[in-house]
Amino acid sequence: MNIDRVQFLTVPVSDQAKARDFYVGKLGFDLFVDVSGPHGQFVMVGPKRAETGLVLVDRAVGGLDLDTRVHFQLSTADVDADIAELRAQGVDVEDAEEMPWGRVTSVKDPDGNVMGLLQPSGYGNWPR
């Protein structure tokens, strides 16, 4: 096999502009792509220097189930600093919990999609 990375994950949203502003403005993601395409606006965001993006798909145009939600995990070097920064921006986020795999919390985007924030402990064998 020649597969070497995940290109993107699809995140269903009800308002692409609002979602884009949340991911870019609140989470500090880069805006990779924001262009008009054959199936409506194509918006891709992602963490700085990331090799994988999140495509923010308009549910009405993308034909996705309105009840669809996704969950994904983001890696961070300092979960407590990120929690403080998110709270300063008015984002609701729980205190971090200590788990065998690291310190972890979660946050929801405006559409209820859940993102885990993990400061890894070195547990496991996945890439960092």
Q: Tens digit of pLDDT for each residue in 37-83?
A: 877 889 999 999 898 999 998 877 756 565 667 888 899 999 999 99
Q: What is the DSSP letter of 26?
A: I
Q: What's the CA dihedral at 63, 69, 75, 76 to 10 degrees? A: 110
Q: Residue 126: pLDDT band by 50, 70, 90 thresholds?
A: low
Confidence at residue 65, expressed as pLDDT on a 0 to 100 scale: 60
Residue 3 lies in a domain: no
Residue 2 lies in a domain: no
What is the pLDDT averaged over residues 17-44?
A: 93
Q: How many other CB atoms sit within 10 Å of the CB of residue 38? A: 5
Q: Domain containing 114: what range? A: 8-120
Q: Residue 105: pLDDT band by 50, 70, 90 thresholds?
A: very high
Q: Residue 127: pLDDT band by 50, 70, 90 thresholds?
A: low
Residue 126 lies in a domain: no
What share of the chain has pLDDT > 90, as a percent?
Answer: 57
Cα-to-chain-centroid distance, residue 23: 7
Q: Residue 3: pLDDT band by 50, 70, 90 thresholds?
A: confident
- The CATH number that applies at residue 59 is 3.10.180.10
Question: What is the distance between the alpha carbons of residues 105 and 45, in angstroms, rounded to a whole number?
Answer: 21
pTM as predicted: 0.82
Total structural domains within the chain = 1
